[in-house]
Structure 1
Amino acid sequence: MLGKTLYYDMIAAPSARRVAMKSSASCRILMCAPGTNQYLVFESLFERDCAVVFWSMKTVRSVTAQYGPIEWTDADGVIHEHYADLRVEYENGEVVLYCVRPIGRDRRGILRAVVKSIRNHELKYHAHRIEILTDRVVTKAAVYRAREILSARRLMNSPDCVRLLELLKAKIKPIRAFEIVEEFGDEGRGMIALWNLMGDGLVEHVVKDTSLTFEAVSFVRAARVN
């Protein structure tokens, strides 16, 4: 708008562990936290995808990576150090540590044993909860949804959101996304408003199988008020 290009220096977000940028087993991902110039270093694509899902949630205040060290004791009484992949702070003040692993990557139960030891002995010094997060929870559909919400959030127009929500509230039954956008009158602005409303929890994707990706033919409705 000013006719000038502005550049921001990227700085590393606070992290307890320095991650090697090369690995024979996985890649390393650098990504800025939305709305900041701080970048996080992730040890895998799936770890990055989990962070994207958390960033898209309105209930999340902050996400950091490589949190620790946290001490845990094995069956022989030997003390080790562990680093949680993600530390998520929610708007209600709850802090949760997540150990991120695709399903099937902990067949021997080593990570489960680590998490159990931390829960029993060290958790109160670091967070309210510690969980193992797999792709059974963070599905490809959830990642796609999160990316679209984050993209739409940068372009949010509040009057568009209000008008689209009023159109949906007037519907007795769920309606396909492309149909409500056509009624809105502008496909681009309508879809941006729709993604923002879904990100804010004001519109629901009506589907029995939550692993299904949202598409233009998907059904939506205004969120039900309890």
Structure 2
Amino acid sequence: MTKPKHSKIHYPIPPIQKSAAEPPDAAAAPPADGANDNAPSAGAGPSKNLTPEERAALVWSAPLASVASRRPAKKSRGSFRGSIVNPRTNREIVFESTLERDLAYILPNLPTVVGVRDQVGPVEYVDEDGVVHNHTFDFVADHEDGTSTAIAAKPAHRVGPSGLEKTLELIGDQQPGFADRFVVRTGDHITRDRAANARLLHRALRGRNVADIAEILAVTTTLRGSATITAILANSRNFGRGFMAVACLIADGVLEHVSKGPISINSLVRVRRTTATNR
């Protein structure tokens, strides 16, 4: 019996190119006499006088626990369970389907979203026959303007038979203080391209490098209209890591991806036309 092949996501990261003006052994140059050994230099690791715990805290901190009102069962026939860590809040987000997983990646990267709550509820409502029910929302997205959106994720072919839209209508009428908007999101909204781009932005934010972002940001301030990511990187010294810096700026709402399909080095980007950011 042959083993199934697993597809892999390949991110289009070009090889790092050094500037011709940069000496090849610049990084290996010894510190000047009298330099403070306790002060880390640019690009250097943590201070050698820090404890192991302090060193670890500089590069990693344990994620905060999910705020979910319930955790999906670890094992369930015919479903997909797991969690990711929101790179902006360092908090775990749980999901119990591939659709919810993709939405968990997408929501933190929307420019107006400042917080994501998972498995929120239960919220009580009464149906048209007077029967009391409880519903738990997959996510609630908190926006920078102080409003919130309660989201139910479900495959499109199951929305009608489940009566989900009517359920959300009843909750909105009976529990208006729970959220400002109540919406259903299906695969028509949570597309493969949007999910792939969100995973790229998530990876970029998890490995965020402030120096790389600052260098690319300086280039983008000169943009007039749209430009390819390749053109932006060509005007910086940081071609390789610069791609991930561009991804961070897209996630931060500084730049916006205006091409169709997955983000690549050939994608067009421009300075975001709104003042909303996700930083």
Provide the TM-score with structure 1 as the length reference: 0.83
Larger Cα Rg: Structure 1 or Structure 2? 2
**Is 1:213–2:262 an aligned residue pair?**
yes
- Give the corresponding residue for 2:157: 104
Deviations 1:112-153 (A, max 9, x none): 1111111111232x1222111122222222222222223223
Q: Does the 8 Å CA contact 1:169/1:221 hold for their aligned counterparts? A: no
**Is 1:134–2:186 an aligned residue pair?**
yes
Q: Does the 8 Å CA contact 2:258/2:268 hold for their aligned counterparts? A: yes
**Is 1:183–2:235 an aligned residue pair?**
yes
RMSD: 2.7
Q: Does the 8 Å CA contact 1:53/1:142 hold for their aligned counterparts? A: yes
Q: Structure 2 residue aligned with 1:143, among 188, 192, 195?
A: 195
Q: Which amino acid aligns with 1:213?
A: P
- Seen in structure 2, the aligned counterparts of structure 1 residues 165 and 9 have a Cα distance that, compared at 3 Å, is closer
Q: For residues 16-95 of structure 1, what are the structure 2 equivalents within 5 Å?
A: 16-34=69-87, 38-95=91-148
Q: Does the 8 Å CA contact 1:165/1:222 hold for their aligned counterparts? A: no
For 2:240 and 2:159, the matched residues in 1 are separated by: 43
For 2:93 and 2:210, the matched residues in 1 are separated by: 30
Shift of 1:178: 1.8
Structure holding more strand per residue: 1
Overall identity of the aligned pairs, in %: 29
For 2:273 and 2:147, the matched residues in 1 are separated by: 26
- Seen in structure 2, the aligned counterparts of structure 1 residues 30 and 165 have a Cα distance that, compared at 3 Å, is closer
For 1:98 and 1:225, the matched residues in 2 are separated by: 24
Give SS of 1:54's match: helix
Structure 1 gap ranges (5+): none
Structure 2 gap ranges (5+): 1-44
Q: Does the 8 Å CA contact 1:29/1:45 hold for their aligned counterparts? A: no
